[in-house]
Structure 1
C-alpha cells in the first residue's frame, strides 16, 4: 500500500532553509510588482505609438505576467516548503521559463512598436 499524504513523515527544517525560501518568494513578488508598475507606467506615461493598440498590448502583457508570477510565487513557495519538510528533492519551477518567455514577448512587442513608429 502506497503512503498517503498524511503518512509522509515531515520534520521542522533548519530555519535558514525556511528563511531562504521566504526570500526567494519575496524576490518573485518584487519582480511581479515591478512588472505591474511597468505596465501602469507604459499605459500612463508612454506616448501612443503609430501602431494602434501597441501601448495597451505592452501594458497588458506586463500586467498579465505580473499576475501569473504573483500567483505562481505562492505555489512555488508552498511546494518548496513541503519538499524541505519531507527531505525530498526540490520541485522544478515553471516560473523561470514563464518569466523568460513572457519578458521576451513583451520586449519583442516593444521593439516592434518602436521600429514601426
Structure 2
C-alpha cells in the first residue's frame, strides 16, 4: 500500500484567506483491493464562522463554493430579514437542493430527447 504523507502549507486567494491545507488519504475498500483517494483539508469562513472542510476538490473549487454559499445566505437574509445563521443555512440548503432537483429534471428531459432523436435516425 502506498504511503500517504501529510503536507501543510499556507494557501491564499485574492479574495479570501483559507489558511492551512493538508493532504491526507482516505481509503475506499473495493473488492479488488484498497483505493487511496487524496483528501484536502481547508479552513473556510462562512458568515464569519470558521470551519474545517475535507474534500477531494482543489482550492479554487472550495473558494467558489464558499463564495456561492455566502452570497446565497446574504441574499436570503436581505429578502427574508432572517439574521439567524442556522435558519439562513437551512433556507440556503433548500434553495440549492431545489436547484439540483430542477437540474436533474432538465437532464432527464434532455436525455429523453437525445434517445428519441437516436431512435428516429435508426
TM range (shorter): 0.3 to 0.5
Tell me the TM-score normalized by structure 1: 0.34
Of the two, which has the highest radius of gyration?
A: 2
Relative contact order, higher structure (CA 8 A, sep 6+): 1
Tell me the TM-score normalized by structure 2: 0.33
